Structure 1
């Protein structure tokens, strides 16, 4: 039987690291710095890899290197293999010492204010030596890190359709409300016309988020333009401080407003705007014991905050 060229012993682990660095950095110089080797070493290793595979992986250009169709395809598999090996290493370490280990969680606005902190506190009571890393970023960046194995799972608002290569687990449904500071001029009102609300200064989520899309659809259904006076951000600390210190308003998951006495929900409905909050993880990738424990803690906290929902996504 003919042995596939990638399994004949010539392809090394360092080749996978090389491709991940080249595609991530976009240049030989950047890859060399990331791998702590010289540029000639990177060039020779790439030439060696291309001979093994029999294809050209990158094309040089005035702004660095660009992966070819072969390069894009091989990079995806290289990143998956590296992610699996990283998980395997961590899993073995945690089997050797079940009280330790670490978990890396990606998060964005929904879930980061109340659900995740409580779940972390609950888990740390039983496993104080467990190292927990929380990374906040945009949904797109978090998905890239998830596929690359840089984070174990994402907690936050779930997409209507799971992104390719991922599976989702719903923790709870959450209403989105218009939130302002407790002393806001509109806070004491029992009815607020939409055109009056639009005239307020707003904090809107970034255009890359699902919530932003739903808000734009809400304004469109009601024949209203986007608020002209607006700030766009998904950074929770910035949002909260702007709400507390100014007369800005923002559309936020209900728990965020409910957990801060300085904030209040205004009496206006966003009708179809809502959120499914839950966990997104890589399909087919076995979680480490620490990650499994963290997920169990999240489920327990979600059940204490909201009645259990159907989580068979």
Structure 2
């Protein structure tokens, strides 16, 4: 096939924005609703893009649309272009006023409760007019947002080494503990056996998280069925409030119990469950001055929390 002529004026930014939404929503209706356009307009935009590229980007099915190999490949490029455009606009703003700017930090449960707030407080003392936006979502959703330029960096659990697309920097290691509210019937007991845990409601992380798989292995090792009475969420605010108001059991990073006397750990060890908390950065992105400033504060905050020297080389400018 001929190489598509993408610079002849037919390809517009709206096509790339639409492609990104289609890939995330897996639905023309969903993408149209997200972009506040009608379904026929979204369908026409997709047809225009497929005509420009000369390939089919999505397969239509009864449950929505699924990207073809061409759709997956071009979506990755589209998100990189959108990220560069977004970064260019913000760079101009920061050049116009070096004391301002915006950094968007994505986070999931690990690191969101202690590390990130401490780092933001440190950053605001240094640069009070810099805007920090915190986006909370699943790890996979945050990676998509980072690729598209809507998130600058991800703070959370590291589950893989750096690769050709992602740069990962460990800030500290953290254990996972089973926790309840301080007035929970099991609080303070030293004789809690694993089967007793199944008698209480649970909060579990989402199925897409590594911690969820590790907890399922914990249940299996002890012959405990997956709790039927459960809530599934990675929102720390939701987890914390449910812990304080109900008899739920949750598996949370150990730093949480240090910060809130109303939450206490159970004397039930979680063998083989623990993780490293750190930064995930896109290798295709150039870090803005605002993002670099937050990364420095994250590194310093992690060192202060763990009593270690600040990790060197976290978040290089690239």
Which TM-score band applies after superposition, normalised by the shorter structure? 0.7 to 0.9
Judge conservation of contact 1:170–1:311 (CA < 8 Å) in 2: no
Distance 2:3 2:68 in 1: 25
Distance 1:230 1:44 in 2: 43
Cα gap change, 1:188 to 1:11, in 2 (>3 Å)? closer
1:184 CA displacement: 2.5
Residue 99 of structure 1 is matched in structure 2 by 99
Cα gap change, 1:21 to 1:120, in 2 (>3 Å)? same
Over alpha carbons, which structure has the higher Rg? 1
| DSSP 3-state at the match of 2:179 | strand
| DSSP 3-state at the match of 1:6 | coil
1:273 CA displacement: 0.7
Distance 1:3 1:235 in 2: 45
Residue 170 of structure 2 is matched in structure 1 by 170
Distance 1:60 1:204 in 2: 34
1:167 CA displacement: 1.6
Judge conservation of contact 2:174–2:277 (CA < 8 Å) in 1: yes
Cα gap change, 1:194 to 1:290, in 2 (>3 Å)? same
CA displacement 1:143-200 (0-9 Å, x = unmatched)? 2212221111111111134587222111111111111122223322234222233433
Q: Are 1:218 and 2:193 matched, yes or no?
A: no
1:276 CA displacement: 0.9
Judge conservation of contact 1:172–1:309 (CA < 8 Å) in 2: no
TM-score normalized with structure 2 length: 0.84
Distance 1:208 1:150 in 2: 21
Cα gap change, 1:312 to 1:217, in 2 (>3 Å)? farther
CA RMSD of aligned residues (A): 3.0
Residue 85 of structure 1 is matched in structure 2 by 85
Distance 2:47 2:287 in 1: 35
Residue 267 of structure 1 is matched in structure 2 by 267
Alignment of 1:1-313 (within 5 A): 5-7=5-7, 11-24=11-24, 46=46, 48-58=48-58, 67-161=67-161, 165-306=165-306, 307-308=308-309
TM-score normalized with structure 1 length: 0.86
**Structure 1: unaligned runs, 5 residues or longer:** none
